Amino acid sequence: MNIGRKHWAVAGGHIPFETTGREPDFSSRDRLALLNASLVAAQVEIQVVYADRPQAGPYRICVAPQRLRTVRINDLIDPLPVPLDTAYALIIRSEMPIVVQFTRLDSGSASRALAGGNAYCSNS
């Protein structure tokens, strides 16, 4: 079953500058989880959109068939790293329907706070 959508977006991205977590498990990070339930590999392209500079990308990611792939936004470095302490948004396009969830773990305070939810998905 090809559950999911081909177009997704995340509006509220932000990698904090400070962190008290251990690297790499609990460092401050935003994370994407990409689920490909289909029998075919999904070629995914991500554009990173900013408030005051041109968008960057595409960042290319392949999600194997019937597999999950998690991507730390920190690790998006080609063609350009995503700067710390800067608001950003993501536009995600996949050839195959996928399911995308965006999770934030903020370890900048004494306690860790995390938040997550599905990314926005369009009808197509």
56 binds a copy of itself (CB under 8 A): no
Task: Provide the 3-class DSSP secondary structure of residue 75.
Answer: helix
Question: Residue 81 or 115: which CB sits closer to a copy of itself?
Answer: 115
What is the footprint of a copy of itself within residues 61-90 (CB under 8 A)? 66-70, 87-89
Angle at 44 between CA 55 and CA 17, to 5 degrees: 50
From residue 87, alpha-carbon distances to 28, 41, 92 in Å are 14, 31, 17
Q: Provide DSSP, 92-106.
A: EEEEEEEEEEEEEEE
User: Out of 62, 80, 84, 109, which residue is the one contacting a copy of itself (CB under 8 A)?
Assistant: 109
Binding-residue total with a copy of itself (CB under 8 A): 52
Binding residues for a copy of itself, rule: CB under 8 A, are 1, 3-4, 7, 9-13, 31, 33-35, 37, 49-52, 54-55, 66-70, 87-89, 91, 93, 99-104, 106, 108-122
